[in-house]
Amino acid sequence: MMAGMTRTAAALTAAAAAIVFADAGTNGAEAQAAKCATMRKMSIGVAVAPPNVVHTAPYTAKALGYFEKLCIDATIVQFEGGQSAAANAAAAQGTAIISVSDVAVGRGAKVQQIWGLAPIMPQVYMTGPDIKTAADLKGKKLSATGGGVGGFNWRMGRELLKTAGLKVDDAVFISSATAGRLPGLIAGQIDGVALHPEDEFLAKKQKPTLNVLARLGQVLPNYLFNAYGASTGWIERDRALLRDTVAAMVMANRAHFEGTEKDKVLKVIMEATQKPQDAVEFAIKTLTENCIWSVNTGFDKKRMEWHTAYSVEVGDIEADKRPTPEQVSNHELAEEAVKVAGGRKTYGKCSL
């Protein structure tokens, strides 16, 4: 009797092992799809084309299988500026999640932030060799890439002018494709532009006489650089899908800090950004060491209080239409996503 039971147990163990090994040999995507009742479709917007390193959480999440793990079939869509007309329309219509600002909310768009991808600005404001102070920007050609008037580069140029008592009319703002930021500065077609870390690295490498006029995260330390958002109707209709999409990207940001599958992630980011390895490695180091990428929700109510006050001060939002932090950012949804991603974590001094 005991011998028979032993033989039976051994047979069952062998069968179980065979199943495990067979599953291990199955294609990862097919195996995950088999575990999901359905793969939910999601379009994830990226604020610029091609993306900067700071925008690559969706690419990392896709490469490491985080979307598939949460039963999401993700499509990444590139926009020409996070606050461009096309991006704003996608957010309002609920066709993609994309960068959403307090200004959009204050102007009546039925959208809300659901996760702060990068709570701190990563860029430097880089200028030509003869521009060493903000006062030197007077009469110069400044970049307005990424949305033209009202877009990020225009806003930051305006901010630097303001520090010298100058107005936007004291400089000439030039719109162009986002990809033209670095070549335009190198060629002298523009005199000032906000550059991401990888382009800062390449700019100094190609033209050492260029100047870093300011680090924008230090000029405006409470400025929320990039937060994903969705239409309020979409949040009501499919909260779970949005929560899980954010959770996958939280895990991706954390993978950047942890060095998870470093070579694979590096290759994916290089392909997405079309930047060389040394520039991408410099950018990842800059973004992690300076807590530019979020590791949790990326939200802070006090910082958003400052942000909306700033938007009123510079005339982007009418004073009587200034939104509350709760109207701008859905903290509850973001916290739910963090729980799905394994709970709150801290990496050194990085906790947002």
Q: What is the pLDDT of residues 56-95, one digit of tens each?
A: 999 999 999 999 999 999 999 876 555 556 556 665 566 6
Q: What is the pLDDT of residues 318-333, one digit of tens each?
A: 999 999 999 999 999 9
Q: Are 216 and 123 in contact (CB under 8 A)?
A: yes
Q: What are phi and psi of 49, to 5 degrees?
A: -130, 115
pLDDT value at position 144? 86
Q: Is the pLDDT of residue 16 over 60?
A: no
Look up tokens 């199943």; give the residue: 19
Q: What average pLDDT does the segment 199-208 reach?
A: 95
Would you give the distance in Å from CA 351 to the centre of its chain? 16
DSSP codes of every residue in 132-157: -SGGGGTT-EEE-TTTSTTSHHHHHH
Rg (CA), the chain: 23
Q: Are 137 and 192 in contact (CB under 8 A)?
A: yes
- The pTM for the full model equals 0.83
- Domain 124-219: CATH superfamily is Periplasmic binding protein-like II (3.40.190.10)
Q: How many H-runs (helices) and E-runs (strands) does the chain carry?
A: 17, 10
- Give start and end residues of each alpha helix (H) in 78-151: 85-93, 102-106
Comparing 33-120+223-340 with 124-219, is the CATH topology the same? yes
Q: What is the pLDDT of residues 49-66, one digit of tens each?
A: 889 999 999 999 999 999
Length of the chain measured in residues? 352
Q: Are 112 and 329 in contact (CB under 8 A)?
A: yes
Q: What is the pLDDT of residues 100-122, one digit of tens each?
A: 999 999 999 999 999 999 999 99
- Per-residue burial over 209-228, b if 16 or more Cβ lie within 10 Å, else e, is ebbebbebbebbebbbbbbb
pLDDT band at 227 (very low <50, low <70, confident <90, very high): very high
Query: CA 33 to CA 18: how far, in whole Å?
Result: 20
* SS3 state of residue 115: strand
Its CATH class, for the domain covering 33-120+223-340, is alpha beta
Q: What is the pLDDT of residues 32-49, one digit of tens each?
A: 555 898 999 999 999 888
Look up tokens 């430097």; give the residue: 124
Beta bridge partners of residue 192, listed in sequence order: 127, 142
Which amino acid is present at 332? E
Query: CA 200 to CA 233: how far, in whole Å?
Result: 39
pLDDT value at position 34? 54
- Per-residue CA distances from 268 to 53, 70, 114, 262 (Å): 10, 20, 25, 10
Largest pairwise CA distance in the chain: 96
Q: What average pLDDT does the segment 274-303 reach?
A: 97
Q: Are 234 and 92 in contact (CB under 8 A)?
A: no
Query: CA 295 to CA 344: how far, in whole Å?
Result: 8
Nearest CA-CA partner of 51 in 220, 280, 212: 280
pLDDT value at position 15? 37
The residue extents of the domains of the chain are 33-120+223-340, 124-219
